[in-house]
Amino acid sequence: MLKSGPRPGRPRDSHIDQAVLKAARELLAESGYTRVTMDATAARAGVGKAAIYRRFGSKAELLFAAAVHGMDIEPPADSGSLRGDLRAMAQVIHERLATPAAREVTPALLAEMSRDPALAARLQSTFVARERRDLEVIMERAHQRGELSRPGDPALAHLLLGGPLFVALLVLPGPLDEDRLDDIASVIAAGLIAHASGPARSG
Amino acid sequence: MLKSGPRPGRPRDSHIDQAVLKAARELLAESGYTRVTMDATAARAGVGKAAIYRRFGSKAELLFAAAVHGMDIEPPADSGSLRGDLRAMAQVIHERLATPAAREVTPALLAEMSRDPALAARLQSTFVARERRDLEVIMERAHQRGELSRPGDPALAHLLLGGPLFVALLVLPGPLDEDRLDDIASVIAAGLIAHASGPARSG
């Protein structure tokens, strides 16, 4: 049901964005992934359902943005080293994935993606592509600094950094303390630097 | 319902193991995770339900063993280098996770683990601990060879190798070809070698 009555004093778009994401987060905490609906989110946010569909193609995309991150993420500030930048990125990924909302959304999203390859492709071409761009910036910085003899493949770096954190936080939850984050960033930074100085892959 | 009639010519235990796992895999393929039951598995395997419960504490554990791996896994043969051993291990993990059964079981298992921390702890202390032992063997070999100046932390190596493969196969499915597996193994081997030569962590 669209709720599209008169909206005097209609807020600017970013206010709608924030209201929609806040409503989705509240509903997620109150009733869990499966019970959140676009209708309930629209009603809670005080916007029309069309306003939500203009922003998010599906409930899965809305709840990803509400629980994990949106399209407005930025890479961490330049720390002066690849290791430092990867450590900062590890912290950011940790903060995104360690929330109750992310833990609630992930299993349900994976189940939905496994049933719906088109959804999986949309999430990859939007949110995941956005994550990879941050790794691209970090690797380009390392190349400019002379740490990486070539910029390398941001998709590889994204998998190498994000994979262990995803598994440690959402698949095999266990202690993921500062030391472990340091170790992950150190191993990957050293590995990428050694790998970049090897022979380039043809093609 | 227990099916426990007379069992003339009762097979040895390993035959029961194989019959139970085969029955579970068939049911998984036919009807999906949620519809597989211990009763149906017992009936299909021609064994008593108690025989299944002696082996697996729950349906989740049965289906993990049927779809991913059991407790009888072994590390790959010594390839002569850490990089080679990690590459072989990456191949093994790829083969385990790329099957339709693993893709079917994973989202459901994650959802069940997120609702049931005791199950998550049991899976960690059995199957996951078993996976880590293979990494421990591989790192100990590298230490004996002189590649790693200390054996290092197998849980870290397990996360670093398994995390990217889990994500690439089950979370963000995309091309995971031989080159990508080579790159993952190379970066992690080089990274672990560099990391082991750094200062040891106190504690």
Nearest residue in chain A measured CA to CA from B200: A183
| CATH tag, A13-57 | 1.10.10.60
Question: What is the reported pLDDT for B114?
Answer: 85
The ipTM is 0.88
Token output for B202:
């106190």
**Nearest chain A CA: its distance from B140 CA (Å):** 18
Q: CATH 1.10.10.60: which residues of chain B?
A: 13-58
Q: Which amino acid is at B130?
A: R
- Determine whether B146 is exposed, middle or buried from the number of CB atoms within 10 Å of its CB (0-12, 13-18, 19+): exposed
CATH topology of domain B13-58: Arc Repressor Mutant, subunit A (1.10.10)
pLDDT at A190 over 50: yes
Contact (CB, 8 A) for A90 and A165:
yes
Contacts of B89 (CB under 8 A, 6+ apart): B75, B76, B134, B135, B138, B161, B185
Quick: pLDDT tens for B107-130. 899 989 988 999 999 999 999 999
Class of domain A68-196: mainly alpha
What span, in angstroms and rounded, lies between the C-alpha atoms of B123 and B102? Answer: 15
Which of A27, A37, A17 shows the shortest CA–CA distance to A101? A27
- Determine whether B77 is exposed, middle or buried from the number of CB atoms within 10 Å of its CB (0-12, 13-18, 19+): exposed
Please list every residue in chain B whose beta carbon sits closer than 8 Å to the beta carbon of residue A111.
107-108, 111
Which of B153, B106, B114 shows the shortest CA–CA distance to B132? B153
What span, in angstroms and rounded, lies between the C-alpha atoms of B12 and B22? Answer: 16
What span, in angstroms and rounded, lies between the C-alpha atoms of A197 and B202? Answer: 31
Question: What is the reported pLDDT for B12?
Answer: 54
Neighbours of A121 (CB within 10 A): 13
Contacts of B31 (CB under 8 A, 6+ apart): none
Q: Which residues of A touch B (CB under 8 A)?
A: 103-104, 106-108, 110-111, 113-114, 120, 124, 128, 153, 156, 159-160, 162-168, 170-174, 179-180, 183-184, 186-192, 194-195, 198, 201
Size of interface A-B (CB pairs under 8 A): 125
Question: What is the reported pLDDT for B172?
Answer: 85
Averages of pLDDT over runs of 10 residues in chain B (203 residues) are: 45 83 96 96 96 95 96 95 98 95 92 91 94 97 97 96 95 86 97 90 56
Burial string for B21-30 (b: 16+ CB within 10 Å, else e) reads bebbbbbbee
Contact (CB, 8 A) for A19 and A46:
yes
Using the beta-carbon criterion (under 8 Å), do A110 and B168 form an inter-chain contact? no
